[in-house]
Amino acid sequence: MRAAATEGRRWFAGLGTLLLAACADGDGSRPADAGQNTESAPPASSPATPVAGNLADCAWLLRSDPVLVNFLYPDQDAVYYISVVPAVPGLELRIRGEFPHSRYMSFVSYDGLPVDAVLDRELPPEAGSQNPYRVGADRSAAARAYQLELRAEPPPTDPSQRVPGVLYTGAGQGGVGSPVAYLFYRLYVPDQGSGATGGVPLPQIELAGQPLPEAFQPLSCERLRQLLPSLAGVPEAYAQLDSPALPLSLLRAEPEPVWTVESGLTAGALGGTPLAGEVSGGPGSNPHNKYIAAPVSRAYGDLLLLRARAPSAPRTREGQALMTDGELRYWSICMNSRSTRYISCRSDSDIVVDPDGQFTLVISTPDARPASARNWLPFGPEPEGQLLYRHMLPSPQFYPYSAQGGEHSGQPLAATMGAYYPRARYCSREEFEVNRCGL
């Protein structure tokens, strides 16, 4: 039995228990850190309720939200939809939808750890439709339909044996069966005005061509709507667990921030390795992302300054007509609390880049924010936290400089990333105004 998968399933079950406990016992109030220092906490958002409508909509039980469903190190510029579906060999499960108007989309299956992933550009469009995520494609194409089969078997160990348009849910991998699979549907950077679904309906999950029966859902839609306001306390409750699944949150900050490569909640932290052919990473992690992470503390200075060369990325937020490429598909820097929730993020399209191609980012409390800081993140209400610098889908040319390339290089990140490595320094607001903290 896989130690990592077993612990991963236990992790998902534990998170589910926390969800239900919060739903059963919570009073609907906001968490403590969301109510103290409102300038540093995530902005309030509408409840993360399922989209009202048919049972196929209700198949997506949760949607990420900065207050209610904010854990597992999410990104402020992303939307995550979570579903639980039966993982029974021979069952005809299919996802039917339209490509959203966004920078990125994917479907990832989990059985405790990531099992398989289908990236936007890999998904075949239906006849007469276009896939807008392929370089040079028309992002505004009207016909943008796709279908994705869910197949309850392990993904092929040889990628050339994969069947296009299939997401493998991994039932029975390693002799450990699972009656259900967890699905994450992710969107990054929806086009302006397109909303949380990227301007198209949520994908429908169908069983033998019909909407997924409500009997397969652990909670009815109406009951879920009643329970969701209590989820705000889940990240704080989770932060109190003494669990090896929180490697990033438990690291100690140093006077000079130390960056390490992470995948989120890693398989290694769970005491095991994935099977051959299995997607790498830990519970809830996105296999298309890698991160460099640094624990940080306000004890070492009024503010923390980061400076690095900015990777290029496609511009899509304003509804650009054609899909382009870049050194990364997407990148961002997020300030996170111990509970794995984000406080705030700045992404590639939000960060002001200097004429020399470098960017400077200040992290501080609102009171310590320098007047001349063009890029700023709130530290948050806690004295310590976690910085995550997210790299998504590096190009082959950029790979050696990326978080992905640095993971197994055996070299210090400062050496592999070169000018793209974020130099970090604590200092006072006065020092920043005088000489940019010496960076």
Q: pLDDT of 147-171, one tens digit each? A: 999 998 889 989 899 999 999 998 6
Residue 417 neighbours by CB under 8 Å, 6+ apart: 401, 402, 406
Distance from C-alpha of 275 to C-alpha of 174, rounded to nearest angstrom: 8
Residue pair 173/115 in contact (Cβ under 8 Å)? The answer is: yes
**Do the Cβ atoms of 10 and 241 come closer than 8 Å?**
no
Say if residue 277 is in the same domain as residue 145: no
Domain identity same for 289 and 208: no
> Which of 205, 238, 271 is a domain's end point?
238
Q: How many domains does the chain have?
A: 2
What does the alpha-carbon distance between residue 242 and residue 71 come to, in Å, rounded to a whole number? 16
Q: Closest by alpha carbon to 152, among 84, 95, 90, 96?
A: 90
Q: How confident is the model at residue 217, as a pLDDT?
A: 52
Whether residues 307 and 178 share a domain: the answer is no
Q: What is the mean pLDDT of residues 199-206?
A: 93
Quick one: 421 and 378 in the same domain?
yes
Say if residue 204 is in the same domain as residue 154.
Answer: yes
Mean pLDDT for the stretch of residues 62-69: 73
Q: What was the pLDDT predicted at 271?
A: 31
CB 2 within 8 A of CB 176: yes
What is the model's pLDDT at position 27?
A: 36
Report pTM: 0.81
Asked if residues 117 and 288 have their Cβ atoms less than 8 Å apart, the reply is yes
Distances (CA, A) of 46 to 69, 101, 376: 11, 21, 25
CB 328 within 8 A of CB 392: yes
Q: Are residues 233 and 246 in the same domain?
A: no
pLDDT value for 430: 94
Tens of pLDDT along 128-137? 999 999 999 9
Same domain (yes/no): 224, 249: no
Last residue of a domain, one of 207, 238, 269: 238
pLDDT tens digits, 311-336: 999 999 999 999 999 999 999 999 99
Q: Are residues 267 and 372 in the same domain?
A: yes
| Nearest one of 380, 74, 421 to 260, comparing CA atoms | 421
Tell me, yes or no, whether 24 and 109 share the same domain: yes
* 296 and 209 share one domain: no
- Shared-domain flag, residues 231 and 251: no
- Which domain covers residue 253, as residue numbers? 241-438
Do 429 and 374 belong together in one domain?
yes
pLDDT above 70: percentage of residues in the chain: 69
